[in-house]
Structure 1
Amino acid sequence: METFNPCIACGICCTHFRISFYWAEADDAPGGFVPAEMTEKLTHHMRCMKGSNDLPRRCSALAGTVGEAVLCTIYENRPTPCREFPVYFDDGTPNPKCDELRATIGLPPLPPFFPLPRAA
């Protein structure tokens, strides 16, 4: 069974936000996982994804055409802000910020999502 993932046909958040995070998430720090070559230094303690600190923004890890078909080339190693941005909240309602950004590129609002109950 296929899981509904609206992000693979959108990607607008990857062109809207500066994706900043603690420097030690980069793989040139012990235990880091974000490819350092795809980041830039912001401050002594912060980095961001290349392309997300410039206007127009576009994260260097984003591949594809926004609003059609996209993917994160470092999905398993994406930084914390990307992992924590909820498309849906725990109750299944869409994130209003996500719907607001989708509207800017002509995509419809997301339908409510109701995950299947977990097996006991």
Structure 2
Amino acid sequence: MLSQMIAQDACLTCGACCAFFRVSFYWAEGEGMPEEAVEAITPVYSCMKGTNQKNPRCIMLSGEIGQQVSCTMYAQRSSSCKDVQAGDEQCHKARAGYGLIPLIEIEPAYPSNDEDYDQVV
């Protein structure tokens, strides 16, 4: 999994997951959300408005996919929004749908021959 800081920065410039999937959840989760943000699917399930269509895009997503985005109700987002994590399978699928490269964790390269030498910082 990507480090928390990298993941947060990646999500602020991406937003693909908010405009690729239908964001559905148990109806009761919508109780704390703005009324204009939620759409009923069945008596049991609701979704974020804008995501239950052929070209989904959550109406609470602000900004341009792959450039700069934000969720205008981030603190109240559903469990299905919280389930998608930067660099996971769902993230990669949504990013690919927008032609964005996958997020991967890269281990920093540490020199192997610097034990007895001063470092220039």
Give the TM-score of the pair, scaled to structure 2. 0.75
Structure 1 partner of 2:48: 49
Query: Residue type of the partner of 2:61?
Result: L
Q: Unaligned stretches of 5+ in structure 2?
A: 108-121
Residue aligned with 1:47, SS: strand
What does residue range 61-100 of structure 1 map to in structure 2 within 5 Å?
61-87=60-86, 94-100=87-93
Relative distance call for 1:113 and 1:44 in structure 2 (3 A) is: farther
Residue 113 of structure 1 deviates from its aligned partner by 6.8
Q: Which has the higher helix share?
A: 2
Question: RMSD in angstroms over aligned alpha carbons?
Answer: 1.9
Residue aligned with 1:64, SS: strand
Bigger CA radius of gyration: 2
The structure with higher relative contact order (CA 8 Å, sep 6+) is 2
Residue aligned with 2:5, SS: coil
Relative distance call for 1:26 and 1:103 in structure 2 (3 A) is: closer
Q: Unaligned stretches of 5+ in structure 1?
A: 28-32, 88-93, 115-120
Sequence identity (%): 39
After the TM superposition, which segments of 4 or more aligned residues of structure 1 sit over 6 Å from their partners? Answer: none
Residue aligned with 2:28, SS: helix
Paired residue total: 102
Structure 1 partner of 2:27: 23
Residue 85 of structure 1 deviates from its aligned partner by 1.4
